[in-house]
Structure 1
Amino acid sequence: MRSLTRTGGPALLWRVAIAAALLCAIGLLPWLSRTDPALTVLKARAAERTPTPEVLASIRAELGLDEGPLHLLGQWTDGLLHGDAGRSWISGEAVLPSVVQSLGVSLLLMSVALVVAVVTAGAVCARTLWLGPRRRLAGRHHSGGGAAVLAALPEFLIASVLATVVGVHLGLLPALGWYGPQWMVLPAVSLGLPAGALLGRLLDDLLPGAFAEPWARAAAARGIPSGRIAWQALRRCVPGLLPNLGLFLVGLTGGAVAVEQIFDIPGLGRSTLQAAVAQDLPVLQAGALALVLLAAVAGGLFRLAARLTSGPALRDGALPTLHSPAPPAPSRLPFLYGGVLLGIILLSLTRDPLALDTAARLQAPSWAHPFGTDALGRDVLARVGHGALHTLALALGISAFALVAGVLLGLLPRFSGPLLDTLNALPPTLAGLLVTGVAGSGAATPAIAVAAVAWVPLSAHTAALLLQERATLHLAATRSLGAGRRHRLRRHLLPAVLPPVTRHALLRLPGVALALAALGFLGLGAQPPSPEWGLLLAESQPYAERAPWALLAPAAALALLGALAVTAAGGVPVPRWLRRRRRPDRALTAGDVRPPERELSTAGAAAR
């Protein structure tokens, strides 16, 4: 296929233009934020110094702010071409060595976290790998709610618990600093567990289709060892997830700000965010450029790996489809989890989430306060329930937008590929700062910032599945019978892509809710005393030892949302308007061509 091997000049120019636009936006951030950069630099250098006009004028002259942002941007670009990224506005030190050192720390942490994620993903789909070769999968099997809890828990919450319990109370591992291999264990586990749980769920979604293919049935009938069949099924499914794995790598590097702050790790994400808050423009631009380059390299390598691991079948159009297993098995778990979450919301409606009672600070759970009280004596149940109304509604809306945008842009990989590589390099916090600089701080700021990056993994997933589905045998047969592009898209490609991508969007729903609340906590959206779930988690962290219930209640609600999303995702079928229909009273047409494995499945069911 020419589209797999041709890398034209327009795609490279499009990629360079997007990266340049991002760097220009970052370069204009101090002026877009409608604040005086000299005043921000003075506060970062010496907060106690009085900002007199003379002092501010001297800072402007020192930094060249009077010449305007475009001059500074051109000066920075010219220096970068000569290997000089400038000097920090705050410390006065050279930027490039510190950014390279921070990048090395982040890459090392990312590598160890990736190992943890791979091990976690293997544990999540272990049961499917055990049952699949033995033909014991009933319907669409999923591994349960344990992965849902891990995928829903935020990294900074896992980091706080591990640092407090393992590092402080038990003293098994160091919980602060970055001085050797022992110091990277807890941060890597904090980052790798939720990422591995999500990757495991995505892999677990594809494995039943691989075990339903004719080669797997023939291998089982010939007595091939189950372990070898499971290994081949993994090789069959992994190429569809490799682009998302590249996104995870960049996300681990640029989005691990909270974990790096908790464990005091001098990583690239933390230094870039600190530079953005302090408006240290040279450090911010160099850090953002490093993230963009990392995203481009990782995305390109993993896309190449996906094509190489698929082999000649991808080039020659000789793949079977992965998306014709048995229909999803019905489950009552979504109703159970949804009922519990709805019950919490209903019980909280009669309580005031803002009522203060200083005499009842940090009280344990009781009949009067089933979830206890927080540091100001407010009822935790009321705050969790009232926060769910706003957080969930906004998260659902953003997830729906991300799904539609991800699928539409995934259909245009040449256009969306460079775009998603660049946007994936932005942590949501940095995206929130950029949105705040343009639109100002407000209730809509977190929603715009999260929506701007939430579609990226869904678009990568869509493009990877389409790449494999376009190389299937049944689609080649349909094309040879004269079916047009619109027919192939509606009757073959979208039915294969929409269910797994929709399940992926549901898996990311808790993460969207948490990203919204985290941006509000940073002052970019809703402010205290708003009962946002992320605010509740952040406010309760200092009292985790004295009042663990104040921290566990919002964490349990978030885990419950994750379990609900995962179990509901397991039952996403092909929409009726996309299902292929056969009419026995007319001649066979291109729309009636069915995948060979579906014919075998039907024949096998009839024989049984």
Structure 2
Amino acid sequence: MRVRGRAALGAALSSRTVALVLVVACVGLLPWLSGKDPALSVLRARSAEQVATPEALATVRDDLGLGNGPLPQLGHWLGGLARGDLGTSWVSDTEVAPGMLSALTVSLTLMGASLVVALLLAAALCARTVARGARGTPAGRTSTGAGAAMLASVPEFLLATVGLLLFGVWLGWLPTSGWSGPVDMVLPALAMGVPAGGLLGRLVTDALPGAYGERWVELWRASGVASWRIALAGLRRSVPAVVPQLALVAVGLTGGAVAVETVFAIPGVGRTALGAAKSLDLPLLQACVLTLLALGLTAGVLAHLVRRRLLGPGLRDAQLTLAAPRPTAGTGWRVAVPASLGLLLVAVVGAGLSGDPYTVETAARLAPPTLTHPLGTDGLGRDVVARLGHGAASTVGTAAAVTAVSALVGLALGFLPVFSAGLADVASALPPVIVGLLVAGVTGPGASGAALAVALTSWPPLAAHAATLVGEVRASRFLVAQRALGATHGRISLRHVLPAVAGPVARHAVLRLPGTALALAALGFLGLGAQAPAPEWGLLLDESRSYLERAPWAALAPALALAALAGLAVSLSSLSFSGVRLRSKGAQPGTRPATAAAHEA
């Protein structure tokens, strides 16, 4: 058994290494993956008016060493990385490293402030559960967990836009752009820190009841130990189970930095990466993507080391986990909330589909809501309701296709858990925004590129769920009997394992549909997805930012629609992981699946 465990660990480490090498190689080969002449891309980036003569292209190839082919160029780029040389910008013809160091300083400062906001919010969300659990009263985790889940599901770009509109434009309390002092960090740090704090608060809130339900707590209470000591001990017991999820927070911060820095015009790595992707300045984009990826992976390693430190030498190898009890509250609200939000979105889409989203009425530009235009018009006089309706149809259709592909990939890789573990770890460290930047660097911004980016990052939770179910089904007694009767491994997988796993994974994928639509909207908001004049929700929100002061209703309409979509996503997640729908056949009636907490996150 020990030999088999070591072999599995070695295979997992090998798959992680291979996956990381593939990602780095893809970043290094960006100038060649587009199928275009890199010299021509450099020439166009530097001067769109210069004629691409053979002499001019040859000069560019000689200057940047592009004439040796992709593999020698990759080796040259990797050698430069080892020396700290990040290359030369194609647009400005300057060294990338100095500007990247300045942008990294800004981004790290913003991420640090966001992490402080996240920790304070998580502490506030967990305070009631900590106090009640230490006193031995019911923790009341359902309402707190639902609020934390809602905060965690709201996209950073939506929070940034609403905060800019409310506190910057309407109330005038805080700056709306720039990076000149601490006050400029308030709105960006809130936009990035609130979802991260909601995630941390939800994870700790879910872990605390398991800690307070252990026998040592009863013994301490019977011995007269003070409640505050029990509370601290319960936190100490719960934190190691949550620390590995800090990597998710780091990934969220790196992805959110792109949108938030863009909204508030902050000169950080995220905004620099987006500008490089749009201008096809691939050396600068390479440096930005590697920096953001390194931040996420470093946070994951640090979280692992902190967990080992908190567990101590006696528990490091015990793999102890906290039992996550099934919520005791009824599921009525879990059905009512998604049903209400779903009906609201259907009503908006139905009303909008009857109109024309492309009709321009210059005389009705930025008109306020009326009977003719219930949600007003945009900067070109187009009806906002019609654009919302048609945008929802296209966004949901694309999200459905992406979800189907992710489900198939996750289901297939669920049968190869050792192979897929490394790929899943690396994919989880890449937010859709970062992958969207890479895809845009190859194909340019577009709806198909955005769909590909989301598909590449949305399969790991489905693969983890499929792998868990495959293991449980294969351990069933009736399959042991099938093997004893001479059934082959392939026959068992196709006739018994696949039918038992496909249904739950498909339901899990459908419940992730709203989250997939939000990811597509985020890329559209950044200009990496559908392009104008397409009525995509994220693009609608981005277009309305230019006239926030004159026509705030044009921004509020897509903002509220995206907020409703986020609420639908978290409601469906709560319904699915209440211990009923995704519980495997072998689970006990009073427990949740082993992977429920990971899926919820």
Same fold (TM over 0.5): yes
- Cα 1:363–1:272 change in 2 (3 A) is closer
Within 5 Å, give how 1:16-27 maps onto structure 2: 16-27=17-28
| Kept after mapping to 2: 8 A contact 1:27/1:281 | no
- Tell me, what secondary structure is at the counterpart of 2:143? coil
For 2:158, the aligned partner's letter is L
Aligned to 1:338: 342
Aligned to 2:559: 555
Give the drift of 1:533: 0.9
Aligned to 2:297: 296
Within 5 Å, give how 1:67-78 maps onto structure 2: 67-78=68-79
Aligned to 2:499: none
Aligned to 1:358: 362
Aligned to 1:473: none
For 2:39, the aligned partner's letter is A
Q: Kindly provide the CA deviation profile for residues 19-67 of structure 1, in whole angstroms up to 9, marking residues without a partner as x.
A: 3322322232223223333333234333454545543332233222233
Residue 187 of structure 2 is aligned to residue 186 of structure 1 = yes
- Tell me, what secondary structure is at the counterpart of 1:571? helix
For 1:519, the aligned partner's letter is L
**In structure 1, C-alpha distance between the alignment counterparts of 2:14 and 2:196, rounded to whole Å:** 32
**Which of 490, 512, 528 is the equivalent residue of 2:516?**
512
**In structure 2, C-alpha distance between the alignment counterparts of 1:220 and 1:399, rounded to whole Å:** 49
Aligned to 1:599: none
CA RMSD of aligned residues (A): 4.3
Give the drift of 1:547: 1.1
**Which of 321, 328, 347 is the equivalent residue of 1:326?**
328
Aligned to 2:427: 423
| Kept after mapping to 1: 8 A contact 2:518/2:565 | no
Within 5 Å, give how 1:192-203 maps onto structure 2: 192-203=193-204
Aligned to 1:382: 386
Give the drift of 1:438: 6.5
Residue 278 of structure 2 is aligned to residue 274 of structure 1 = no
Aligned to 2:157: 156
**In structure 1, C-alpha distance between the alignment counterparts of 2:411 and 2:245, rounded to whole Å:** 14
- Cα 1:568–1:50 change in 2 (3 A) is same
Give the drift of 1:358: 2.4
Aligned to 1:135: 137
Give the drift of 1:116: 1.0
- Cα 1:175–1:368 change in 2 (3 A) is closer
Give the drift of 1:187: 1.7
- Cα 1:187–1:457 change in 2 (3 A) is farther
When normalised by structure 1's length, the TM-score is 0.77
**In structure 2, C-alpha distance between the alignment counterparts of 1:294 and 1:169, rounded to whole Å:** 35
Residue 64 of structure 2 is aligned to residue 58 of structure 1 = no
Higher mean displacement: 314-323 or 544-553:
314-323
Aligned to 1:588: none
Give the drift of 1:411: 9.4
| Kept after mapping to 2: 8 A contact 1:159/1:190 | yes
| Kept after mapping to 1: 8 A contact 2:145/2:205 | no
Aligned to 1:240: 241
**In structure 2, C-alpha distance between the alignment counterparts of 1:390 and 1:162, rounded to whole Å:** 27
**In structure 2, C-alpha distance between the alignment counterparts of 1:406 and 1:94, rounded to whole Å:** 41
**In structure 2, C-alpha distance between the alignment counterparts of 1:202 and 1:398, rounded to whole Å:** 27
For 1:253, the aligned partner's letter is T
Aligned to 1:602: none
Residue 254 of structure 2 is aligned to residue 253 of structure 1 = yes
- Cα 1:245–1:393 change in 2 (3 A) is farther
**In structure 2, C-alpha distance between the alignment counterparts of 1:434 and 1:36, rounded to whole Å:** 17
- Cα 1:160–1:258 change in 2 (3 A) is same
Q: Kindly provide the CA deviation profile for residues 394-430 of structure 1, in whole angstroms up to 9, marking residues without a partner as x.
A: 4356457657867986898765554345334544344
Give the drift of 1:437: 6.6
Aligned to 1:531: 535
For 1:564, the aligned partner's letter is L
**In structure 2, C-alpha distance between the alignment counterparts of 1:560 and 1:228, rounded to whole Å:** 41
- Cα 1:349–1:294 change in 2 (3 A) is closer
- Cα 1:38–1:458 change in 2 (3 A) is same
**In structure 2, C-alpha distance between the alignment counterparts of 1:84 and 1:347, rounded to whole Å:** 55
Residue 483 of structure 2 is aligned to residue 446 of structure 1 = no
For 2:240, the aligned partner's letter is P
Aligned to 2:118: 117
- Cα 1:7–1:580 change in 2 (3 A) is closer
| Kept after mapping to 2: 8 A contact 1:537/1:554 | yes
**Which of 352, 359, 362 is the equivalent residue of 1:348?**
352
Q: Paired residues, what number? A: 557
Aligned to 2:584: 578
For 1:115, the aligned partner's letter is V
For 1:305, the aligned partner's letter is V
Residue 542 of structure 2 is aligned to residue 542 of structure 1 = no
- Cα 1:225–1:385 change in 2 (3 A) is farther
| Kept after mapping to 2: 8 A contact 1:116/1:189 | yes
**In structure 2, C-alpha distance between the alignment counterparts of 1:221 and 1:568, rounded to whole Å:** 41
**In structure 1, C-alpha distance between the alignment counterparts of 2:45 and 2:444, rounded to whole Å:** 21
- Cα 1:103–1:461 change in 2 (3 A) is farther
Aligned to 2:284: 283
**In structure 2, C-alpha distance between the alignment counterparts of 1:346 and 1:188, rounded to whole Å:** 37
Q: Kindly provide the CA deviation profile for residues 426-469 of structure 1, in whole angstroms up to 9, marking residues without a partner as x.
A: 44344235446777876443222112112457778999x99xxx
| Kept after mapping to 1: 8 A contact 2:150/2:570 | no
When normalised by structure 2's length, the TM-score is 0.78
| Paired-residue identity, % | 49
| Kept after mapping to 2: 8 A contact 1:328/1:570 | no
- Tell me, what secondary structure is at the counterpart of 1:374? coil
**In structure 2, C-alpha distance between the alignment counterparts of 1:135 and 1:50, rounded to whole Å:** 77
Q: Kindly provide the CA deviation profile for residues 184-226 of structure 1, in whole angstroms up to 9, marking residues without a partner as x.
A: 2322112111222233334444444444444455556666555
For 1:107, the aligned partner's letter is L
**In structure 1, C-alpha distance between the alignment counterparts of 2:318 and 2:547, rounded to whole Å:** 60
| Kept after mapping to 2: 8 A contact 1:242/1:302 | yes
Structure 2 unmatched ranges of 5 or more = 478-482, 484-488, 490-502, 592-601
Higher mean displacement: 340-349 or 170-179:
170-179
**In structure 1, C-alpha distance between the alignment counterparts of 2:232 and 2:413, rounded to whole Å:** 32
| Kept after mapping to 2: 8 A contact 1:63/1:89 | no
